[in-house]
Amino acid sequence: MIASLVQVSATSLAQRITIKKTNKNLISILQDVRKQTGYNFVITDDQAEKSKPVTLNVSQEDLFQVLDELFKSQPLGYKIDNKTIVVSDKSTAGTSIVQPAASAAVEVRGIVLDEKQMPMPGVTVRHKESGMAASTNVKGEYLIKLPNATGTLVFSFLGYQTQEVAVNNQTKIDVKL
């Protein structure tokens, strides 16, 4: 599973959006929303492939209204986390993952760099076994809380080879994609 992040500087939620598109793919519409609002999007290739063509005609609408309209006929949902809009499958959208007892939880942190040793913001870091996930920040850093110190972390970003790294009781895992 590869994830993509469309990134620009963020602006206010109150910003108005105007889009008139007919029968376009979801990514195209999300890019228009990004350009007008500055919000980042995280969406997997699988989600993009199963999305339906979109016809959207909005004028001077706020972000929430546009997103609700955009996703109402999609098999996908969304949630806003800071200045990032995370796309999810509707079957899992709105469901919460029960956190394990504090004594069993393990925090794993690290940094993700590209081939030029530059930090990679927006990389999806997912625990294969529990499904828990996090994204790297602008410095390429991540922090993910796991139910235990075992299993595999999956690092993915559009255009890069997905990497899997065994946790093996490590609390710091740095990755080069």
Q: Is the pLDDT of residue 3 over 50?
A: no
HEC per residue, 7-19: CCCCCCCCCEEEE
pLDDT per residue as tens digits for the range 121-160: 999 998 888 778 888 999 999 999 888 888 999 999 888 8
Long-range interactions of 114-119: CB distance < 8 A, separation 24+: 114/160, 114/176, 114/177, 115/176, 115/177, 117/176
Measured distance CA(40)–CA(69) in Å, rounded: 18
Q: Is the pLDDT of residue 10 over 50?
A: no
**Which segment of 2-6, 27-31, 87-91, 94-98 scores lowest on mean pLDDT?**
94-98
pLDDT per residue as tens digits for the range 28-71: 998 898 898 888 888 888 888 889 998 989 998 888 888 888 88
pLDDT of amino acid 148: 85
Q: What is the pTM of this model?
A: 0.47
Q: Which amino acid is at 36?
A: Q
pLDDT-based confidence at residue 82 (cuts at 50, 70, 90)? low
pLDDT per residue as tens digits for the range 93-105: 443 333 333 335 7
pLDDT-based confidence at residue 20 (cuts at 50, 70, 90)? very high
pLDDT of amino acid 53: 92
pLDDT of amino acid 37: 85
pLDDT-based confidence at residue 173 (cuts at 50, 70, 90)? very high
Both structure tokens of 102: 């504090």
- The count of C-alpha atoms lying within 13 angstroms of the C-alpha of 133, restricted to the half-sphere facing its C-beta, is 21
Centre a 10 Å sphere on the Cβ of residue 57 and count the other Cβ atoms it contains: 10
pLDDT of amino acid 121: 93
